[in-house]
Amino acid sequence: MIVYILAVFLFLIGIYGVVVKRNLIKIVIGIAIMEYSVNLFLILIGYVKDGTAPIITDQVSEIVFVDPLPQAMVLTAIVIGLATTALLLAIAIRIYKKYGTFDIREIKNLKG
Amino acid sequence: MTIIVKKVTQIICGVIFLYGIYIIIHGHLTPGGGFAGGAIIAGAFILLILSFGSEFLALKKEETGSSLLESSAILVFLVIAVLGMIVGGVGIFLVNFLPKGTVGKLISAGVIPLYNIAVGMEVAAALLTIFLALLIYRDEVLK
Amino acid sequence: MQYFIPLFVAVPLGGAFLIAIIGNFLKGFGKIFTSIVLAFLTGFSLYIVFTLQGSLVYGIGGWELFDKIPIAIYMVLDGLSIYLLLIINLIGFLSAFYSISYIQKFTAENNYYTLFCLMVAGMNGVVLSGDLFNIYVFLEMAAIASYALVAFGIEKEELEASFKYQVLGGVSSLFILLSIGFLYWYTSTLNIADISKVIAKKGGSQLVVFSQVILLSGFGLKAAMIPFHAWLPDAHSSAPSPISSMLSGVLIKAIGAYVILRLFFNMFEVSYNTSLVITIIGTLSMVIGVLLAIGQWDIKRLLAYHSISQMGYVILGVGIGMLVLAQNGERAVAALSIAGGLFHLFNHAVFKGLLFLNAGAVEYETGIRDMKRLGGLSSVMPVTTSTSLSASMSISGIPPFNGFFSKLIIIIAAIQAKYYVLSILAVFVSIITLASFLKVQRFTFFNKKGENWIKREPPVREVPFTMCFSMVFLAVLCLALSMLIVPSVRDIVLTPAVDALIEAGEYTTSILGY
């Protein structure tokens, strides 16, 4: 039970990074930490007591496997996280070229 | 980069490439599959570019090539999926229409190894394109 | 017949990557091919609207039910899905046709059409999927394509707006994934019909209520409800105009309002607390959106704030229906309220799309977005003026345009359900919307004389043919959609959508068989 609470605690650390930090790159790192914590939480859900890796070989008999469905979900979620991070970083370096700074207190052209 | 890095890269780059191909092809027998193998192959190419460096025009030509490879790999995936509608069942999308062999052999499980190869090519080309695009932006604008 | 459901996703996906390859060799391949693909999809969805009986269920790969457990990935096409597919493909085709001449100002045209086709493929996938995790995957596909499209012309404001949109959208997507994790923990399955059976059998617990709250905040941000609206004015006003009309007209409905409808009517049991929260959020969006919109002087920012207010109308209509069902009231009143909300969804896509295309036409010719510097354009741009007048009368609720009928149905349903305060607020918001659009029409088109525009270098003229065609088509549709009130037309288009939400067991019976 305590591992689930620690995974959600990591999610809250990521939210702290997105809300409080003022550098653009630190905000991106906060989103990445949130994403890793959700992937960890999904894998932990599929654990069955005394289970082994869910691979069928020739000598399969009465073996208890862990749940393979969350593993497939997490593979897809990792790929989606890669695309999100790549696009965020590409926009961040172009903002640095146009505005000259990474500080979000200086980047306020749109208001109202 | 120094001569040690260049020499070690020359030796080990081919081994990394071969290891990535092994993980892609055995995707239906061992853990791994398309995405993990594709990421390893992209790592081999990125190691080469990082240790030897390149000038700007060679990078631009390479980015055009890898972008075309990525789009054509996805089209191969869709063609195999639609081919199942004509050959296999009554027009079912994504059906497994090649013969499935025995469990545990390399050539078995129908269409799944072909999908693994297409996904592996696509992921390697996509990661290489992202890396090259960021590198070209730095060379072209931030001078 | 049901074997053609995956074509709605596969055809735009293949078309997007075909444009990426062939666009390197043939210039101008992208714009023609996109319009052909989207016109084919619109025609196909119109054909299905007229010939659909019940719902079509398709398991990918041909896997059947095993021992009454659904092990395949399902795609479900029922009345609500085909209603939204029609909206997505029609507005997509008109925006793609409009952008044939608008995007000539930018470089890298082929990337634009690739991303546009990917966005349409993602939205089609969200509407058709019958499986909770597939909704997440297609939603991310459409959202990442829209983040890149908002930053397309790489100016300072567009980059800043896109970064804000991406950070907020990314956090909300992670909330959605977390709630999918909690639901899988409780029920051990991902199929929407199967989850509803398991929750009905095991009874609700604290975990289900917690995941409902996280799901509502995640999808509430995608649907631009108050208090999650902060990304919408920046993103919708800085994007290129056909993308603004797609984002505001289709994206916030397909990945925001549709998923809230599907999950809270067909998956969770209708409870009083949840429907109260949804109705309060809808009312707040309606009122605060229009009060924030009055003081704006930038055309596109004003239209973006009005989007928040009109989406509040839709959620208010649906929320009143849910409240009546939760308290076991009369089903006829609930059906009327939900029908009003869904009808307003279609109307808002049409007239808000038309308003954004008009703002784009004004910006394409004059280069100015500030209303204080415009004026007197009615003599040089007659088509834009007349279509904008038609859309403004439609959004303010003036008969015989379509906005009047949908708002009337929502207000009558609120009175019949004895929520008098909500109906008075709806009338009040409609009056303020009328005042706001009178201001837009006066300052943009009618205030001064038009000679300065002809003396400018280059002189301001009417926009090219493809842009005119899209605007005139949408303006005619504004009048023609009032026909959805007529009972014979309503039974084909609107009644299957309402039935798919209200009939409690029909969704699960068509998939599982019991």
pLDDT at C342 over 90: yes
User: How many CB pairs below 8 A link A and B?
Assistant: 23
Compute the distance between CA of residue C363 and CA of residue C375 in angstroms, rounded to an integer. Answer: 13
Q: Residue A23: which pLDDT band, with cuts at 50, 70 and 90?
A: very high
Cis peptide before C400 (omega within 30 of 0): yes
pLDDT at C436 over 70: yes
Compute the distance between CA of residue B21 and CA of residue A75 in angstroms, rounded to an integer. Answer: 19
Q: Do B103 and A56 touch (CB under 8 A)?
A: yes
Per-residue pLDDT reduced to its tens digit, C401-428: 989 999 999 999 999 999 899 999 999 9
Compute the distance between CA of residue C381 and CA of residue C361 in angstroms, rounded to an integer. Answer: 9
* Residue extents of the structural domains in chain B: 3-140
Question: Is B133 in the A-facing interface, judged by CB distances under 8 Å?
Answer: yes
Of C144, C166, C178, the CB nearest to A38: C178
pLDDT at A111 over 80: no
Give how far A93 is from chain C: nearest CA, Å.
Answer: 10
State which residues form the domain around A70.
2-48+65-99
The larger pLDDT score, comparing residue C172 to residue C493, is at C172
Q: Which of C329, C259, C309, C249 is nearest to C436 (CA)?
A: C309
Give how far A8 is from chain B: nearest CA, Å.
Answer: 27
Q: Specify the 3-state DSSP secondary structure of B133.
A: helix
Of B78, B82, B96, the CB nearest to C61: B96
Q: Do B133 and A58 touch (CB under 8 A)?
A: no
Q: Let me know how long chain B is.
A: 143
A56 in a structural domain = no
Please list, in sequence order, all residues whose beta carbon lies within 8 angstroms of the beta carbon of residue C24, skipping any fewer than 6 positions away: B64, B68, C110
Chain A residue numbers with beta carbons less than 8 Å from the beta carbon of B35 are 75, 78-79
Q: Do C156 and A45 touch (CB under 8 A)?
A: no
Q: Which residue type occupies A68?
A: P
- What does the pLDDT average to over A57-82? 86
- What does the pLDDT average to over C312-330? 91
pLDDT at B14 over 90: yes
Residue A52: CB atoms within 10 Å: 10
Question: Is B3 in the A-facing interface, judged by CB distances under 8 Å?
Answer: no
Instruction: State residue B9 phi and psi, 5-degree precision.
Output: -60, -40
Query: What is the DSSP track for B111-122?
Result: THHHHHHHHHHH
Chains near C, with 3+ CB pairs < 8 A? A, B
pLDDT at B89 over 70: no
Give how far A65 is from chain B: nearest CA, Å.
Answer: 14
Compute the distance between CA of residue C143 and CA of residue C120 in angstroms, rounded to an integer. Answer: 10
Of C147, C154, C174, the CB nearest to A87: C147
Q: Which of C147-156, C198-207, C443-452, C497-506 has the lowest mean pLDDT?
A: C443-452
Of A55, A89, A97, the CB nearest to B142: A97
pTM (2 decimals)? 0.94
Q: Which of C511, C80, C65, C86 is nearest to C263 (CA)?
A: C80
What residues of chain B have any CB closer than 8 angstroms to a CB in chain C? Answer: 64, 67-68, 71-72, 74-75, 78, 81-82, 85, 89-96
- What does the pLDDT average to over B99-117? 79
pLDDT at position B142 is 62
Asked whether C417 and C320 are in contact (CB, 8 A), the reply is yes
Instruction: State residue C77 phi and psi, 5-degree precision.
Output: -120, 95
A55 in a structural domain = no
Q: Which of C145, C62, C143, C160 is nearest to C111 (CA)?
A: C145
Of A31, A69, A77, the CB nearest to C167: A31
> In whole numbers, what is the pLDDT of chain A averaged over residues?
90
Largest CA distance in chain B: 61
Chain C residue numbers with beta carbons less than 8 Å from the beta carbon of B71 are 17-18, 20-21
pLDDT at position B31 is 86
Task: Number of helices (H) and strands (E) in chain C: give both, helices first.
Answer: 22, 2
pLDDT at position C444 is 87
Asked whether B86 and B79 are in contact (CB, 8 A), the reply is no
> In whole numbers, what is the pLDDT of chain C averaged over residues?
90
A60 in a structural domain = no
pLDDT at position C247 is 92
Asked whether B37 and B120 are in contact (CB, 8 A), the reply is yes
Number of domains in chain A: 1
Token pair recorded at residue C384: 């834009």
Question: Is C104 in the B-facing interface, judged by CB distances under 8 Å?
Answer: no
A59 in a structural domain = no
Q: What is the CATH number of the domain that holds A83?
A: 1.10.287.3510
Chain A residue numbers with beta carbons less than 8 Å from the beta carbon of B133 are 90
